[in-house]
Structure 1
Amino acid sequence: MPVTHATGIGPVPTAAPKLAPNVLDLFSLKGKVASVTGASSGIGKEVAIAYAQAGADVALWYNGNPKAVETAAMLEKEYGVRAKAYKCPITDSAAVEATTAQIVKDFGRLDVQVVNAGVAWEAGPMIDVEGHDEWKKVIDIDLNGAYYAAKAAGRVFKSQGTGSLIFTASMSGHIVNIPQMQACYNAAKAGLLHLSRSLAVEWAGFARSNTVSPGYMITEISNFAPKDTKQKWQQLIPLGREGNPRELVGAYLYFASDASTYTTGADLIVDGGYCAP
């Protein structure tokens, strides 16, 4: 919890940061080290690229897809930043802690942790699924894995006295998707939203915690859906289409940068207006 006054009423005010006078400089990540889980493809890859373009050194996490290694090499060559890929199963708490420690050792610090690794629920209506393996898989990756990564990063942030945690949540944490049935995924993402808000209060003295809630995006995680299902999605999206993951990176840049030093416990929905009606 934040340090409280001697009276026990309210937190001790944190010092106001020194901010650059130019708004574009507020969005710069030069001098920062950013870490992104699930960075081999989709949203994680695009965020890692955007952070390098903004000047950050970047640690890219992957597990089954080693394309993050190629992306790291490309980032160093194209943008002149330091970048390195780390293989780590996000569901292994000891491996997550070890990977986080190695990143700090390799880069010297950790300023931004994007907790993005996740999988979709593809099994259909919950009561029609035999056993509990699919439920455990999604919860273990999307919620428990996020907790492990957040906890490891939070300890680094506390030792530094600063840091920004960003979860990839989902509009599915706000609404119930149709026509596909995915109670497990919705529950996991709703959990991330409240976990982030809770950490924003717990960590207020040394770090910020926020979430980005994407809508339907053109990424591998939605490949399970047949064409007719995607057509139904588009009918419910005011903008009438799925999003390009590049359309998300501004949200992640905002939360990572000094442009958001007074923003914590917030969620930014980027869904083409799906949640608006």
Structure 2
Amino acid sequence: MSDTTTQAHPGFGVTAIARDAEVLDSTIHYVESLAGDDGSRDPIVFLHGNPTSSFLWRHVFSRLEGQGRLLAVDLIGFGDSGKPDIDYSLEDHQRYLDAWFDALALTDVTLVLQDYGAAFGLHWASRHPDRVRAVVLAEPVIAAIESEALPEAFVSTRALVRTPGDGEKFVLDDNRFVGELFPGFFLQPLADDDLAEYLRPFPTPESRKPVIVFPRQLPVDADPASTVAYLDAFTEYLRTSDVPKTLLTYEPGFLLTPKVLKWARATIKNLEVVDGGAGIHFVQEESPEPIADAVVATRARAGF
């Protein structure tokens, strides 16, 4: 574990610091707030998806100051985490994230999850159920998504990204996934400084290598089957685990399609579904307060 610390982005709050953990052959960057305690309080772990970073959670993070040991992580290859020479497959992400949980020896964890961060967090939880106390989900990747519920423009762009050569040009060479597609997923345009922070980790085609994997692996109409199998690996955990879970819904939303929501209600044990307000997919930017409230309420159900 690196002992270097720096001040986190001001949006995380005055008590937040940035750290780097030595993980496998690289480093995982994360923002932490102890809010005056010694780090012994139960951790609240925030996991993001593509193409963002821990920065996405800052408005939720700051609202939970003092609730516990807050930890917002940059997935490997994203944000200020290392960019090792790997494929950035789902399994690669899981290996590095698993190693980060172990490096910090986290137990009694509250997981706050979005996008592919939900898949990684729940996969970890399914193999370490004794280390998890509560789960909060916002726009998660947890089951196959039906294409008819997705915007036609996104479906066609995903097909382009999955085409060898065309996908590399769109995502890596021309930077259109981060530079053009991502900014369109907000009800109101991002502030220039905030957009610049999201763009900062991806200055070169090589640095954008992690970005192309996630849309290619997104399970639309049960394709690719490998991702469906990856998600199925934690379905039994969702079905049987007694830990309290909360799923936030959004208007208009994106990944939480009607069929996925119906599946979640029928499948996930001890689940409460709550209205998260207005938002598309990167809902932490647009409706942070309902997420923070859901974390507090779910932890209360867990006995915190």
TM-score band, normalised by shorter chain: 0.3 to 0.5
TM-score, normalization by structure 2: 0.38
**Based on CA coordinates, which of the two structures has the bigger radius of gyration?**
1
TM-score, normalization by structure 1: 0.41
